[in-house]
Amino acid sequence: MLKKFSSYYKKHWKLFVLDISCAFLMSGLDLVFPIFIQKLVDTYFPDRNFTIAARLVFILIVLYLFRFILQYIVHFWGHVVGIRMETDMREEIFSHLQKLSFKFYDDNKVAYLMSRIVNDLNNISELAHHGPEDFFISVIMIIGSFLIMAGMSLKLALVTFMLLPLMIFFSLKLGQKMYIAFKDIREKVAEVNSIIEDSLSGIRVVKSFTNEGFEKKKFDEGNNQFRRSREYAMKNMARFHAGMNLFINLIRVVTLGAGTYFIYRGELSTGQLVAFLFYVNMFMQPIRRLVNFNEQLQRGMSGFSRFTNILAIKPQIEDKSDAIEMDDVKGKIKYQNVSFSYDNKSHVLKNINIEVEPGRTVAFVGPSGAGKTTICNLLPRFYEIDSGKIFIDGVDIKDIKLNSLRNNIGIVQQDVFLFNGTVRDNILYGNFKATDEEIVEAARKANAHQFIKNMENGYETEIGERGVKLSGGQKQRLSIARSFLKNPPILILDEATSSLDNQSEKIIQASLEELARGRTTLVIAHRLSTVKNADEILVLTDEGIVERGRHEELIKKENGVYKKLYQTEFNTELTAADSLF
Ligand code: ADP
Ligand code: MG
């Protein structure tokens, strides 16, 4: 894991080396400062040699200016390394996510993936930059100060460093507790927020069931847990800071006491004692950095392991190496003994056989959950079939490049997804090469031009998040315009008019018929009118395709499923639908 992590440094190794060397130099400079003090106190003060003292001060100024530059480089370019690595990783995971199949998105929540991309990568970036730097700086500072102090007086250095391991142990231990406590706080605040969001967005339901009390109780529980978790974190934080200072003060006192004794015995100079005290003051920094490092390492590494886990997921459906492009598709479709399951266990579809001639329309009817949508989703290879074969124009779809396959299939569904942007952007999504005339033409055919014209800015009108500023019927018409622009030889219409009111439905039905003209069409219908005109009707139940034929044939079957469906489900709309045609 660490090896894989460090491989991301490769591309930015120059910057990384620069960052680390500057961090080295910077800690080195910090380490020499007490030596200057010692020299001042021991040599130049007693001699009253002010020229040399002034020179010393001058050198210090130069060194600190140098340190200023070093710190700037470490701070800026060090972060740049982290930011660039993070950018590389974000790009890698985003393009990987684009490749993953429907199955992956069935099993993973978008919110989870979002937090992977945002939080995990942020933590990884922090570790990438601060990790090595914090570690190197603290190790150099501790070892360096020990060596210098030992050079002045080994005995006193040993006394001073006696307590240091204890202090490091203590701070790492409490640091770990704080890390866990803060992690808990983040979880608790997320819970509270989700309770609030849930309650407020469902406020109408809450009120109509008069469940305010229940909601309040749920909230109080979450809110209290959040409070407790914060108090616990603060307790540990207070212990940490107070404890760190207690240790430093202890070390200070011990050093001062022992130092005074050594001076008394003539084994130490005053300047040396002063230098020692300066070093003791400096201990705080490397220890804080070690604690930081420990925390960043855990956070960054657990983020990184989730990151690599996602990258390790192979797209379920990919092009074969010798996959072909399909030009000039006629639109003949054949399902041959197709079986499919979502979970590799229970078959949703079993031995399905369908044949559709180019330009013909097949309608699927049957109870909800029978597998109508599933059958249609297999054609663009959104899911991989378990056995059997599907052909387009006689070519197995597994032999066709995914892009080429999907470019030849248009899908209009019940749920329309529109992107943030203008009306124009959303229609253009069907074919980015389309001209303005073609866009208007597509909108006209989709019966959308008129309402678009009437909008504030016409085609340039922003449709709001996911199209909130449009009615259901308008959204559907945009999606149909999109499909006109795409102009595929094969079309899938999956209950495209189900959620619409009667008025919109009539308009949209008309444009869908226009869209289907001359294309091979698989239509999942809940309307008699659509079904009646289909070249073949397939009746799908849990048992598979139980009846097939034209409306007139199926309606005659005694005890037929279609006949029953016709009498019950379609009956209520008989008058309305028949008046349509
Ligand atoms: P229909 O369109 O006829 O209403 P579907 O094709 O949507 O039926 O669903 C057929 C069966 O497959 C149902 O039992 C449904 O629960 C299941 N199913 C549909 N989509 C998924 C999915 N993405 N993952 C797992 N099971 C699914
Ligand atoms: Mg369906």
How far, in Å, from the CA of 94 to the mean position of ligand 1? 27
Residue 572 confidence (pLDDT):
54
State in Å: Cα 98 to ligand 2 middle. Answer: 24
Closest CA to ligand 1's atom 7:
373
333-579 has the same fold as 1-153+289-314: no
Distance 192 CA to ligand 2 centre (A): 36
Site to probe by mutation for ligand 1, drawn from 103, 338, 348, 542 as the one with most ligand atoms within 8 Å of Cβ, is 348
DSSP for 420-459, please give it. Answer: SSBHHHHHHTT-TT--HHHHHHHHHHTT-HHHHHTSTTGG
* Distance from Cα 203 to the centre of ligand 1, integer Å: 31
Q: Is the pLDDT of residue 157 over 50?
A: yes
Whether 578 has a pLDDT exceeding 70, the answer reads no
| Confidence at residue 570, expressed as pLDDT on a 0 to 100 scale | 64
pLDDT tens, 231-279? 999 999 999 999 999 999 999 999 999 999 999 999 999 999 999 999 9
Whole-number percent of the chain with pLDDT over 90 = 77
Ligand positioned closest to the Cα atom of 541: 1
Dihedral sign for Cα atoms in the order 178, 310, 379, 507: positive
Strands 395-396 and 520-524: unpaired
Confidence of residue 577 (pLDDT cuts 50, 70, 90): very low
> Any idea which ligand is nearest the CA of 414?
2
- Please state the φ and ψ torsions of residue 186, each to the nearest 5 degrees: -60, -40
Q: Quickly tell me which residue has 């598709």 as its tokens.
A: 329
435, 427 in Cβ contact below 8 A? no
Instruction: Note the pLDDT tens digit of each residue in 55-64.
Output: 888 998 999 9
Q: Say whether pLDDT at 526 is over 80.
A: no
Q: How does residue 581 score in pLDDT terms, banded at 50, 70 and 90? A: very low
What is the Å distance from ligand 1's center to 350 Cα?
14
pLDDT-derived band at 571 (thresholds 50, 70, 90) equals low
What's the angle, vertex CA 427, arms to CA 422 and CA 432, rounded to 5? 105
Does the beta carbon of 539 lie inside 6 Å of ligand 1?
A: no
pLDDT at 569 over 80: no
CA of 374 to the centre of ligand 2 (A): 7
Dump pLDDT digits (tens) for 482-504: 999 999 999 999 998 888 888 88
What's residue 517's pLDDT? 93
Answer yes or no: is pLDDT of 212 > 80.
yes
Report yes or no: 425 and 452 within 8 Å, Cβ to Cβ.
Answer: no
In whole angstroms, what separates CA 445 from the centre of its chain?
38
Which of 104-113, 141-150, 215-224, 401-410 has the weakest average pLDDT? 104-113
Pick the atom of ligand 1 nearest to 364's CA.
3
pLDDT in tens, 224-233: 999 999 999 9
Residue nearest to atom 27 of ligand 1 (CA): 342
Task: Note whether 544 and 479 are within 8 A (CB).
Answer: no
Ligand nearest to the CA of 367: 1
Helix 154-162 / helix 121-152 crossing angle, nearest 10 deg: 140
Exposure string of 523-556, with b = 16+ CB inside 10 Å and e = fewer, is bbbbbbbbbbbbebbbbbbeebbebbbebeebee
List the residue whose alpha carbon is closest to atom 17 of ligand 1.
369
Q: How confident is the model at residue 91 (pLDDT cuts 50, 70, 90)?
A: very high
Summarised one tens digit per residue, pLDDT across range 117-133 is 888 999 999 999 889 99
Domain ranges of the chain: 1-153+289-314, 158-267, 333-579
Q: Which of 26, 12, 278 is nearest to 134 (CA)?
A: 26
Architecture of domain 1-153+289-314 in CATH? Up-down Bundle (1.20)
Tell me the DSSP string of 124-164. HHHHHHHHHHHHHHHHHHHHHHHHHHHHH-HHHHHHHHHSH
**494 alpha carbon, closest ligand:** 2
Mean pLDDT, rounded, for 340-362: 94
Per mean pLDDT, which range of 33-37, 69-73, 371-375, 567-571 is the poorest?
567-571
Q: How far is the CA of 314 from the centre of ligand 2 (A)?
A: 27
* Residue (of 378, 389, 377, 383) closest to 351 by Cα position: 389
Mean pLDDT of the chain: 91
Architecture label for domain 333-579: 3-Layer(aba) Sandwich (3.40)
- Which protein residue's CA is at the shortest distance from atom 26 of ligand 1? 342
- Closest Cα to atom 16 of ligand 1: 369
Strand partners for 333: 356, 392
Distance between CA 17 and CA 14 in Å, rounded? 5
Contacts of 457 (CB under 8 A, 6+ apart): 422
**519-542 mean pLDDT:** 89
pLDDT single digits (tens) 383-424: 999 999 999 999 999 999 999 999 999 999 998 999 999 999
Check if the interface score ipTM surpasses 0.85. yes
